[in-house]
Structure 1
Amino acid sequence: MIFLLLSILFSTGLFVIFKYFGIYKIDVLKAIFVNYIVAFSMGFLLAERQIPISEIYLQPWFPGALVLGALFISIFFVMAMTAQKNGVSVTSIAGKMSVVVPVLFGIFLYNESVTILKVLGIVIALIAVYLSSVKEEKTQNSGTLLFPILLFIGSGAIDTLIKYVQVNHVADQDVSIFSGSLFGIAAIFGGLILTIKAIRKRSSFGLKNIVAGVVLGVPNYFSIVFLIKALQNKNFESSTLFTVNNVAIVIVSTLVGLLLFKEKFSLKNKIGVVLAILGIVLVTIA
């Protein structure tokens, strides 16, 4: 349970940091790139057993880390496009509702339990995610559904693949180095994109972007490590864990936005938080 709570707290911290990125006009792509390098370094420095970098590709979990690294950077761009084309609310909802993907895979792939109470809790949790995330935007874009659909599928695929690789290939002592490796792969893809952009238009990297990336990298690393460690707990089914994890992040992020950033809290948001708590209780009991 402690690993799940820590994953929720560190994941919520990421939302707070991204909020400050907007306030301080941080170049998100550059900060993301630095963040991946920091998370990669932490993975190898804190690893329980040492593996030479030259032998990483020999590890059974490397193909999964390769795909996840590519997904990490790809979904970042999809999120940006969704926000531009469809608005912030749609982006938030599409990303968070994707919890249904790993939940379904957990039930069908790992034969996890299906009870009326559990199904009811998941349905209530999904409704809660929508109500908690929706914001009254002054200008709502009606863009194509392509990007929200890609965000929904991609975000769900990341959680599902993390669970699959963890179950089949990642030993307990390899959690840190596996996490570091997928961040390192994401950094390589991010570096290639930055290089292409630099060739087209030269610009300084900026000290504040480096600092922002370091600040982001630490909680980002721990959010993944603690999530994987929570998934290793045999007392928690992944369908239950992902539901509790995602919905709890929504609750805490919403409350942080209300208290720290004085964001508007509509009646829908209030109902969403209440339903989210009810959904978590039902899923946990089930």
Structure 2
Amino acid sequence: MIYLLLSIVASTLIFIIFKLFDKYNINALQAIVVNYFSACLFGLWSYEAPIVVRDIFSSEWIFGAVALGFLFITVFNIMAVTAQRNGLSVASVATKMSVIIPIVFGVYMYQESAGFQKIAGILLALIAVYLTSVKPKTAENIGKSLWLPILLFLGSGIIDTSIKYIETTYLSENGIPVFSATIFGFAFIIGVVTLIIKAMKHPMKLPLKTIIGGAILGITNYFSIYYLLKALNHESLESSTLFTINNVAIIMVSTLLGLFFFKEHVSKTNWLGIVLAVISIGLITLS
């Protein structure tokens, strides 16, 4: 449970860091690319055994790491476009509702428990995620470019599901740091290519504050994945339970932080979602 709590804390800190990016006018895409480089280096530094590049490229999980690196940067860009065209609340709902994909995968693939109390908790959690994220005209905005939220929903769900599958099938506990670092390394390479293409059209600078912000984000991002993998590696929690609690807790805490520290508006609907989120976590945890 401690690993799950640490993953939630790290993921929530990412929310705060992005808010600070906006406050200090830090270019998000540039910082994201720096973040992947920082996360990769930190993961390699955290790995206790000698690092042999040949062993990494010959490992059973290498293709999964490449695919996840591509998905990380691609889903981020889809998220950004969705937020611009459909609104931030739509992007948030699509991302967090995608938790249903790894839940169904865990129950079907690994025969995880699916009792009445757990199913009720999961359904309540999905309702809570929607109510907590929804903002005025969310439903109207979804219809503008429906394919964007759908792609975001599928991409986010596939990432969580792939992480669970690779962790279960190929990954040993001591291999988590280097696996995480490899994912971020490939995401960094793809991000650099993206920036180069953009720079060819519109020249850009890389300010020191962007490098510092990206580096801080990278270390936080690394720990969010590292502790999620450690939690998945632990036998005390099923993945369907873990992903539900993880997603619901992140969006609940992020909403409360937005209220108290960034003076964001929280509607009665959002408050209802927060209450349902607490109830759902209790139901799932005790099931």
TM normalised by structure 1 equals: 0.97
Structure-2 residue corresponding to 1:112: 112
Paired position in structure 1 for 2:93: 93
**1:63-102 to 2 correspondences below 5 Å:** 63-102=63-102
2:40 match: 40
Are residue 31 (structure 1) and residue 31 (structure 2) matched? Answer: yes
Partner of 2:50: helix, strand, or coil?
coil
Shift of 1:55: 3.4
2:203 paired with 1:202: yes
* AA aligned opposite 1:32: I
Counterpart in the other structure of 2:234: 233
Q: Measure how far apart 1:122 and its partner are.
A: 0.2
Q: Quick check: 201-210 or 143-152, which moved more?
A: 201-210
Q: 1-side partners of 2:189 and 2:161: how far apart?
A: 23
CA distance in 1, matches of 2:108, 2:58: 30
RMSD of aligned C-alpha atoms?
1.4
Matched residue of 1:83: which SS? Answer: helix
Q: Which structure 2 residue ranges, 5 or more long, are not aligned?
A: none
1:131 equivalenced with 2:131 (yes/no): yes
Alignment of 1:201-220 (within 5 A): 201-220=202-221
Write out per-residue CA displacement over residues 154-212 of structure 1, whole angstroms, 9 at most, x where no aligned residue: 00000000000000111110001100110001000001111111122222112121111
Report deviation, 1:137.
6.3
Indicate yes or no: 2:262 matched with 1:261.
Answer: yes
Partners of 1:144 and 1:133 lie apart in 2 by 18
TM norm structure 2: 0.97
Instruction: Summarize deviations over 1:111-146 as a string: whole Å, max 9, x none.
Output: 1111111110000000000111112369x6442110
- Quote the Cα distance in structure 2 between the aligned partners of 1:146 and 1:170: 34
2:146 equivalent in structure 1: 145
Residue 22 of structure 2: SS of its match in structure 1?
A: helix
- Of 41-50 and 93-102, deviating more is 41-50
Per-residue CA deviations over 1:201-249 (Å, capped at 9, x if unaligned) read 2221121211110111111000000000000111110000000111011
Matched pairs, number: 286
Structure 1 residues without counterparts, runs of 5 or longer? none
- 8 Å Cα contact 1:71/1:154 also seen in 2: yes
Partner Cα separation in structure 2 for residue 234 and residue 277 of structure 1 = 24
How far has the Cα of 1:48 moved from its partner? 2.7
Q: Distance in 2 between matches of 1:80 and 1:54?
A: 35
The answer to which of 55-64 and 167-176 deviates more is 55-64
Aligned counterparts of 1:62 and 1:50: Cα–Cα separation in 2: 17
Task: Verify the 8 A CA contact 1:70 1:185 in the aligned structure 2.
Answer: yes
Deviates more, 1:222-231 or 1:205-214: 205-214
SS in 2 for 1:114: coil
Q: Aligned AA for 2:245?
A: V
> 1:7-46: CA deviations, max 9, x gaps?
0000000011111111222111110010000000011100
Residue 44 of structure 1 contacts residue 50 of structure 1 at CA under 8 Å; is this kept in 2? no
Query: Percent of pairs identical after alignment?
Result: 50
**Contact 1:95/1:155 (<8 A) preserved:** yes
Aligned to 2:16: 16
